[in-house]
Amino acid sequence: MDPTPAVRIAHTGELTPVELARVRDMLDAAFEGNFDDDDWDHALGGLHALVLDPYGRPIAHGSVVQRRVQHAGRSYRAGYVEAVAVHAIHRREGLGHRVMAALEQVIDTAYEFGALSASDAGAALYAARGWRLWPGGLAALGPAGPVPLPEEEGSTYVRPAAGRPLPDPGHPLRFDWRDGDLL
């Protein structure tokens, strides 16, 4: 018997209220109080990659949701990675890599590129997997027009979908508006 738990992929709509509550509890614990209701909302509505312990409790999670990104006069469909976390007692077991591999497969088959905003703690995981720090400008498309996001520069990573080029860093990425953290 393989002791490595499988990665389960499920759309938010396929997860029961109990499963969603367990994921939220794990994320609250993993982020040590730095995961709020807006962060949770950002993680919903797409596909979740979950690793469960033998009792059905999540021990690793990440999700990918669609974001519209305007770049150089064109609108792209980007897979935005959210809420990647591993329960503290299961860190350094490769679970973060397994979750990201599952999310990257979704990005490769459904989106033009992937994007994410990395914490200092998470940046090494993404860089090790080939994600690249976005060297260009960033903005959100706010109700009154583009809102520059210079504070996000240096923490936003991108990854081309399989067989596609990355957008030109000579033009900013302008992400769709949302409540809470814009990226």
Tell me the pLDDT tens digit for each residue of 141-150.
Answer: 999 999 999 9
Give the C-alpha separation, 46 to 182, whole Å.
Answer: 17
Domains of the chain: 7-176 (3.40.630.30)
Q: Parallel, antiparallel, or unpaired: how do β-strands 58-71 and 173-176 relate?
A: antiparallel
Helix (H) or strand (E) holding 39: helix 37-42
Cβ neighbours around 11 below 10 Å, total = 12
Tell me the pLDDT tens digit for each residue of 81-99.
Answer: 999 999 999 999 999 999 9
For residue 112, the one-letter residue type is E
- Work out the pLDDT band at 1, boundaries 50, 70, 90: very low
Give the C-alpha separation, 68 to 37, whole Å.
Answer: 22
- Report which of 99, 102, 87 is spatially closest to residue 57, judged by C-alpha positions: 87
For position 92, what pLDDT does the model report? 93
What is the average per-residue pLDDT within 23-42?
96
- Report which of 147, 154, 150, 151 is spatially closest to residue 175, judged by C-alpha positions: 147
Tell me the pLDDT tens digit for each residue of 25-34.
Answer: 999 999 998 9
What is the average per-residue pLDDT within 73-77?
95
Query: Token match 């949770």: residue?
Result: 40
Query: Token match 């959100």: residue?
Result: 140
